[in-house]
């Protein structure tokens, strides 16, 4: 980011959460977001698809990992509690304050993530938080 602001490089790719203060201060200018839809935090910034690159849908995400062999009842209860928490207004508000667009998708086993990847055309992708990537200038 320092190299971009110091005009040593012409562009930089980063997460919305990381660059939001610089955008708000006017020290950098967002050109596009990498996600399939516009970011709720940067609604005036087009997607790469809107700029002619339709096959790009890149988001950041997080995951919860449990030990192998966890009993299905415990796994299912954990998934239920996480779903409830992510839907909670207080969690949504907290996520939004720091720049996350929260969503939960239960995938049991990391192999499921590798099989699904981030295939926008099938409406699937990894679980977690969608904070998007942004090109800055």
Question: What pLDDT shows up at residue 62?
Answer: 74
Instruction: Write the Ramachandran bin of 75: left for phi over 0, alpha for psi from -120 to 50, otherwise beta.
Output: alpha
pLDDT digits (tens, 9 = 90+) for 50-91: 999 988 887 777 778 888 888 989 988 988 888 888 889 998
State how many domains the chain has: 1
Give dist(CA 36, CA 120) in Å, integer. Answer: 7
For residue 33, the cross-strand partners are 47, 134
Residue 31: give the domain boundaries: 2-117+126-136
Tokens found for residue 29: 């200018």
Alpha-carbon dihedral 22, 61, 67, 105, rounded to 10 degrees = 140
Query: Can you give the pTM of this predicted structure?
Result: 0.59
**What CATH number does the domain containing 110 carry?**
3.40.190
Pairing label, strands 133-136, 12-15: antiparallel
The position carrying tokens 């087009």 is 46
């Amino acid at each position: 980011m320092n190299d971009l602001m110091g005009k040593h490089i012409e562009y930089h790719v980063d997460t919305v959460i990381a660059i939001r203060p610089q955008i708000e201060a006017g020290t950098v200018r967002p050109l596009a977001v990498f996600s399939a839809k516009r970011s709720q935090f940067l609604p005036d910034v087009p997607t790469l698809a809107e700029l002619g690159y339709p096959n790009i849908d890149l988001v950041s995400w997080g995951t919860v990992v449990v030990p192998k062999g966890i009993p299905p009842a415990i796994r299912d209860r954990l998934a239920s509690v996480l779903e409830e928490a992510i839907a909670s207004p207080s969690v949504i508000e907290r996520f939004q304050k720091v720049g996350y667009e929260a969503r939960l998708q239960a995938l049991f086993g990391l192999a499921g993530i590798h099989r699904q990847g981030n295939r926008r055309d099938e409406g699937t992708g990894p679980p977690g938080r969608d904070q998007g990537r942004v090109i800055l200038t």
